[in-house]
Amino acid sequence: MIHFEHVHKRYPNGREALSDVTLNVSDGEMVFLTGHSGAGKSTVLKLIALIDRPSRGRVIVNHQNISGVSRRRIPAFRRQIGVVFQDHKLLHDRPVFDNVALPLIISGMRRRELDKRVRAALDQVGLLGKENVAPLELSTGEQQRVGIARAVVSKPLVLIADEPTGNLDPELALEIMRVFRRLNDVGVTVMVATHDLHVVDHFGLRRIALDHGRVAENDDEAGYAG
Amino acid sequence: MPDSITAPSRPRIATARRGPLEFLGAYIERHAQTFVASLGRMTRQPFATLMTIAVIGIALALPLCLDLLVDNVRAATGTWGGAVELSVYFKPDVKLAKAEQLASALRQRSGIASVDVIAADEALKEFREFSGFGPALDALTDNPLPHALVIRPSPDRVASPSHIDALRRYLQNWPEVDLVQVDTEWVERLQSILDVARRLLLLAAVLLGAGVIVIVGNTIRLDIENRRTEIEVTKLVGGSDAFVRRPFLYSGFWYGLGGSLLAWGLVTLGIHLLEAPVNRLAGLYGSSFKLVGLDPRMTAILLAAGAILGWLGSWLATARHLRAIEPTA
């Protein structure tokens, strides 16, 4: 589902964010992308969401080579993947419902169906009943769950998350990860970037560790290990 | 395929399974929603919105005033039609009875307000009184003046030189007529002045229209800056350029429409304030002139022009600035 082949990413300032990264995530799998800050976790996610383009190498997401996705096709491509950000990226001028509904409004869904889907997504993250609350009235953990609901409301096949538990205490962090786990149980391919090893150990899922832009450890030795 | 077990089949994109009618419904719903939402957003910043609309309104009111001025001058010259006269001098052998007969025939024609017969004796008497040549005229044995007609065209025709010229040629062809004199010079001059005014009006309209585009463009540019986060997030979750642009286009539309409504209000108010003094003035000149206001056609043109200019200004601003905002998360 997510496939990197000898991917390099060099930024204009000369920093090499990724060097020869090869990794693979199968359909319906959930993996952790670990490594301390600056190891290249965010860069991997940015390449998947087409926020950035690789300098060299191939990235294949949902059976599409992303280098073939033109600028005009990027929006349609992004609608196939859900993205969760460390800083939530919620819009504070509108209630929770409107935040979660945004991807559906973009794809042109009608009001009746949209209502059902937004409620279902909020239910999945345990926030049903908070539709009309302003995001800033929620706790950080709840805001993050709104961000997750928005990422999954259009039922993407791939969900990527960048340090979703970065600002949360261990108990809340586990709770957020359980939400991802439940989504993975219903078939969504999930990739979570985190430096929180406590959380990673708790779930015992496959981990891909990055160090200075290289793959340092990949449990999936049989497959596409770099 | 093992894939179908791990990844249960479901619509990949929400729009996947919809009929054309459903699609149209969603399309209209989406546009209507954005249409109203962009108006709602503007009312949340009433002061800034009103400032923009005021500038647009004044810019649109100026050419509108010029247009009404031209219209009114044209209408006013129509009611001063008495000033344009044709003098028809008959040949010396034409009898007064014949002249009167021709005059009454003329009165039946359309486009003629009045026909006065000036008998030769009367004309001589008048001439003697006003010219100061009294004693010299006494030396004449008979009246050298012919009978004459004074014709006033109807007011609605007076501003048309071609009509007056046609009338002159018609009269000139009568066998009894010696000479037809018309003073159309001032009508022609007025026409030229109105032509210049109309050209000025066109120039002013083009310049101020461009001004409206710039005003709206700049307002939308600031709006885009203020909503940077929203634009980034929308693009991150898959909003296309068209989707991101739409609310700004509608805002531009509302600004333009609001501005043209204000221009309409300003001009209507101006007409209302001028009406009484102008009527008094016209009354002093014995004219039935009434100030011409905005007719429905002109109002429709104004509103459409405002809305289109606003839309255009915001189109230019979004084309220029939206592309530059890309998520960097």
Express each pLDDT in B176-218 by its tens digit.
Answer: 888 888 766 676 777 788 888 889 889 999 999 999 999 999 9
Alpha carbon of residue A183 to chain centroid: 12
Q: Please tell me the distance in Å from A75's CA to the nearest CA on chain B.
A: 4
CA distances from residue B91 to A52, B101, B116, B183, B221 in whole angstroms, order as listed: 98, 15, 17, 21, 78
DSSP string, B81-107: GGG--EEEEE-TT--HHHHHHHHHHHH
**pLDDT of B36 higher than 60:** yes
Of B14, B232, B238, the CB nearest to A75: B238
Residue A29, Cα to own-chain centre: how many angstroms?
13
Q: What pLDDT is recorded for position A224?
A: 44
Cβ pair B10:A155 closer than 8 A? yes
Q: Which residue has the higher pLDDT, A219 or B194?
A: B194
DSSP B324: T
pLDDT tens for residues B226-264? 888 899 999 999 888 888 999 999 999 999 999 999 999
CATH pick for B85-182 out of 3.30.70.3040, 3.20.20.70, 3.40.50.300, 3.40.47.10: 3.30.70.3040
Euclidean distance between CA atoms B284 and B39, whole angstroms: 49
- The pLDDT score that the predictor gives to residue A190 is 93
For the cut 70, the answer to whether the pLDDT of residue A223 exceeds it is: no
The label of the residue with tokens 């939206």 reads B322
> How many A/B residue pairs have CB atoms within 8 Å?
99
State the burial class of residue A103 (Cβ atoms within 10 Å of its Cβ: 0-12, 13-18, 19+): buried
* CA gap B12, B141 in Å, rounded: 114
Q: Would you call A78 an interface residue with chain B, using a CB distance cutoff of 8 Å?
A: yes
Establish how many alpha carbons lie within 13 A of residue A36's alpha carbon, considering only the half-sphere containing its beta carbon: 1
Per-residue CA distances from A205 to A95, A169, A177, A200, B320 (Å): 35, 21, 12, 7, 47
Q: What does chain B come to in residues?
A: 329
Q: Which residues of A touch B233 (CB under 8 A)?
A: 89-91, 102
Q: How far apart are CA B219 and CA B251, in angstroms?
A: 10
Q: Which residue has the higher pLDDT, A35 or B285?
A: A35
Q: For residue B52, with 0-12 CB atoms within 10 Å meaning exposed, 13-18 middle and 19 or more buried, which class applies?
A: buried
Beta strand ranges found along chain B (DSSP E): 86-90, 112-118, 148-153, 177-182
Contact A108, B14 (CB under 8 A): yes
Cβ atoms within 10 Å, residue B231 = 21
CA–CA dist A150, A157 (Å, integer): 14
Mean pLDDT score of chain B: 82
Crossing angle for the helix pair B228-236 and B241-284, nearest 10 degrees? Answer: 140
The pLDDT of A186-194, averaged and rounded, is 92
Which whole number is the average pLDDT over B48-64? 92
Cα–Cα distance measured from residue B77 to residue B157, given in angstroms and rounded to the nearest whole number: 10
Mutation for testing the B interface, residue in A41, A51, A53 having most B CBs under 10 Å: A51
pLDDT band for B10, please (50, 70, 90 cuts). very low
pTM (whole model) above 0.90: no
Give B158-182 pLDDT, tens digit per residue.
Answer: 556 677 788 888 888 888 888 888 7
Give A160-177 pLDDT, tens digit per residue.
999 888 777 888 888 889
Provide the sign of the torsion angle of the four alpha carbons A38, A39, A42, A48, taken in this order.
positive
CB count within 10 Å of CB B277 equals 10
Residue tagged 């048309």 (tokens)? B160
Residues of B in contact with A89 (CB under 8 A): 229, 232-233, 236, 329
- Show me where the domains of chain B are located: 20-78+190-321, 85-182
The model's confidence at residue B12, banded by pLDDT at 50, 70 and 90, is very low
Could you tell me the pLDDT band of residue B157, with boundaries at 50, 70 and 90?
low
Q: Are A147 and A88 in contact (CB under 8 A)?
A: yes
ipTM: 0.87
Q: Which residues on A lie below 8 Å from B25 (Cβ)?
A: 110
Helix (H, G, I), strand (E, B) or coil at B134: helix
pLDDT at B302: 93
Residue A191 backbone dihedrals phi, psi, to 5 degrees: -125, 120
> In which element (H, E) is residue B168 found?
helix B161-172
pLDDT digits (tens, 9 = 90+) for B294-327: 889 999 999 999 999 999 999 999 988 888 887 7
Residue numbers in B near A77 (CB within 8 A): 238
pLDDT above 90: percentage of residues in chain B = 27
What is the structure's pLDDT at B214?
94
Pairing of strands A206-211, A30-34: parallel
Give the CA distances from residue B149 to residues A6, A14, A176, B90, B271, in Å, rounded to whole numbers and listed in that order: 106, 99, 104, 8, 41
Determine phi and psi for A224, rounding to 5 degrees.
Answer: -110, 30
Reported as a pLDDT band with limits 50, 70 and 90, residue A91 is very high
Least confident piece of the model among A43-52, A146-155, B97-106, B255-264? B97-106
Comparing CB atoms, the residue among B10, B229, B236 nearest residue A78 is: B236
Q: Under DSSP, is residue B149 helix (H, G, I), strand (E, B) or coil?
A: strand
Question: Which residue carries 């992303």 as its tokens?
Answer: A66
Please state the φ and ψ torsions of residue A12, each to the nearest 5 degrees.
-55, -30
Is residue A39 within 8 A of residue A217, CB to CB? The reply is no
- Using DSSP, state whether B294 is helix, strand or coil: coil
Spacing of C-alpha B88 from chain mean position: 38
